[in-house]
Amino acid sequence: MQTADRLKKIPPYLFMTLRNKINEAKARGVDVISLAIGDPVEPTPQPVIDALTKAANDPANHPYPTDEEWGMLAFREAVARWYQRRYAVELDAKKEICALIGSKEGCHHFAMAVINPGDTVLVTDPGYPGYKPGVWFVDATPYPVPMEGANNFLPKLEDIPTDVAKKACAFFLNYPNNPTGAVATREFLNGLVAFARDNGIVVCYDNPYSEVVFGVERLSFLQIPGAKDVGIELNSLSKPYNMTGWRIGMACGNRDIVGAIATSKANTDSGIFNAIQYAGIAALDRCDDYIGEMLTIYGGRRDKLIATLRELGWTYDPPKGTFYLWVPAPKGYTSAEFCDLMLEKCAVVIAPGAAYGKHGEGYVRFSLTVKDDRLDEALQRMRDHLPKFAFD
């Protein structure tokens, strides 16, 4: 049976590979603990569940969603209120916001909406695995932009060759960053806006971890003067409100790009179930306190993991964002070899940095989205079964 050639470019999705690894170990009777995947284990806030239940019981919400390609205006207005309250960003709910089935979906529609066949697209390396497939789907070529520890995992825009910058049409990046946990600074974002403007590049600033920061300010790309002229921000209810399974997010910013995304969506899906959009409104309007609680939980887990890593020889500065810890692999181990050691000795699964791109080699990623008792057990196993490591 014929399948499209474009699919042949796409490597197996990292998390499917990790899930297979976990399932294989479980099938062998191993009590495996996954610190690999970033999927919150705490429940969705009750006001969100209540709003869904109420809206699902209303037959008015059962037909195709209203305003299908942009999302319900009431949801978009809640997004505008949220951006105003949390980031002091002004958005026109009618023209500058489109509801998404998650930020991941937004990456795909951004590619459909902005990129032409044969284009060059800048993608950070290491990078979120959801970016490159969208680029390949539209027959364009991703150009990896290195992010290195020496520059706090921020790309050095001045090191991108001029001819590449001139021919690139778009740039995918995200801070607080998955996988490195790095956060952006206003200075970097100002430079990004100038770089995009000077080179005619459309920025897809993917910001689903905007709320997950420790001791630094929350930042939206859209706070930066000129940002709306050069790009959009994707955001999501998945991570701040433990709503990964609900599939709801938003594309905001440049009205031409947001409109183009809405056109791509109108010809792909028929919108998000109204009841989920009502639940989304409850999250955005009424659940700020839950974000604080979530940060306390992740902060506690972070401290415990950092303490165990230090006991085992790591001496590194933990990043300030996301619920991941991006950690150098010990001397003598590739990222995959260290992950294998963790599985073999501790029955703990973590993600190899190399899976996020060439520049991810030499690192592994721990996720803090696991119940506290399971994290404690994983850390105990690490202390019991791993030696003290050396680092360069």
Ligand X SMILES: Cc1ncc(COP(=O)(O)O)c(C=O)c1O
CB of 28 to ligand X, least distance (A): 28
Least Å distance between CB 55 and ligand X? 20
- Contact flags string 156-175 toward ligand X, x per CB under 6 A: ------------------x-
Contacts of 256 (CB under 8 A, 6+ apart): none
State the nearest-atom distance from the C-beta of 321 to ligand X, in Å.
11
128 contacts ligand X (rule: CB under 6 A):
yes
Of residues 104 and 301, the one with the C-beta less far from ligand X:
104
Q: What is the size of the binding site for ligand X (CB under 6 A)?
A: 14
Q: C-beta of 207: minimal distance to ligand X in Å?
A: 8
Say whether residue 206 binds ligand X (CB under 6 A): yes
Q: According to the binding rule CB under 6 A, does residue 129 interact with ligand X? A: no
Which is nearest to 343 in space by CA: 53, 126, 18? 18
Minimal distance, residue 381 CB to ligand X, in Å: 25
Q: 200: which residues sit within 8 A by CB, 6+ positions away?
A: 166, 169
What are all long-range contacts of 82-86, with beta carbons under 8 Å and residues at least 24 apart? Answer: 82/284, 82/285, 83/220, 83/222, 83/252, 85/288, 86/210, 86/211, 86/218, 86/288
Q: Between 244 and 277, name the residue whose CB sits nearer to ligand X.
A: 244
Distance CA 69, CA 132 (A): 24
Q: Does 208 bind ligand X (CB under 6 A)?
A: yes
**Residue 21 neighbours by CB under 8 Å, 6+ apart:** 343, 349
Q: Is 130 in the site for ligand X (CB under 6 A)?
A: yes
The CA distance from 257 to 171, in Å, is 13
Min CB(117)–ligand X separation in Å = 24
Closer to ligand X by Cβ: residue 276 or 386: 276
State CA 159 to chain mean position distance: 25
Shortest-Cβ-distance residue relative to ligand X = 102
Q: Using the minimum distance from each CB to ligand X, give the nearer residue, 18 or 346.
A: 18
Cβ 196 to ligand X, closest distance in Å?
A: 19
For ligand X, the closer of residues 308 and 369 by Cβ is: 369
199 binds ligand X (CB under 6 A): no
Smallest separation, CB 209 to ligand X (Å) = 7
Of the ranges 100-108, 142-150, 192-200, 348-356, which one interacts with ligand X (CB under 6 A)? Answer: 100-108
Rg (CA), the chain: 21
Of 294 and 379, which has the nearer Cβ to ligand X? 294
CA distance 177 to 183: 6
Nearer to ligand X, 177 or 308 (CB): 177
Beta-carbon contacts of residue 357 (< 8 Å; ≥ 6 apart) = 124, 125, 126, 127, 144
Applying CB under 6 A, does 132 fall inside the site for ligand X?
no
125 binds ligand X (CB under 6 A): no
Binding positions for ligand X, 223-282, rule CB under 6 A = 236, 238, 244, 249
When asked if residue 210 is in the footprint of ligand X (CB under 6 A), the reply is no
Residue 39: other Cβ atoms inside 10 A: 16
Q: Which stretch binds ligand X (CB under 6 A): 42-50, 60-68, 99-107, 275-283?
A: 99-107
| Min separation Cβ 238 and ligand X, Å | 3
Q: Which residues bind ligand X (CB under 6 A)?
A: 38, 102-104, 128, 130, 174, 178, 206, 208, 236, 238, 244, 249
